[in-house]
Structure 1
Amino acid sequence: MINPAKIEEIAKQISSNMPQGVKNLADTFESKTKQVIQNKLAEMDFVSREEFDIQSKVLIRTREKLAELEAKVAQLEAKLTNADSAEE
């Protein structure tokens, strides 16, 4: 099995032996890449986890309320049906 600590040590050795120009290029590339990704994610209009959880709770409460209202409507319809039947 590969030892992660050994891989990290090798990566540090390689990095420390790189010419400064290559290090600067890598750092610039990394920062520009992060900036582009952050900009694109911002454009996608994602919501935070907190906002998602809040809206999920609101949806659950709305569904519960809808179920209650549907039951009340069914009761009222039953009463109307019974009242119409009694009049005939």
Structure 2
Amino acid sequence: MVRGLAREMKGTRVTANCVAPGPVATEMFLLAGGDREERVRRAVELSPMGRVGEVGDVAPVVGFLCTDAAEWVNGQVIKVNGGYVS
């Protein structure tokens, strides 16, 4: 979908990218259904970083994409997941 949007924006200097975070310690992840402790334990177990992400891990990537420095990044899905293997 993001690649199609990037093509649609051809010639406008508008870029289209997607940030795909892994498990992040947000209310949505921590409180949504099921057993919280089990979900967190499993996410930590599958993460090479040995922890779930934090908002501060994802926000800088989004911030970068909003700058002129990212003008050559287009049509990408950027995984911000600490190497999480699902």
Give the TM-score normalised by the residue count of structure 1. 0.23
Larger of the two Rg values belongs to structure: 1
Higher strand fraction: Structure 1 or Structure 2? 2
Higher helix fraction: Structure 1 or Structure 2? 1
| Structure with more relative contact order (C-alpha pairs < 8 Å, separation 6 or more) | 2
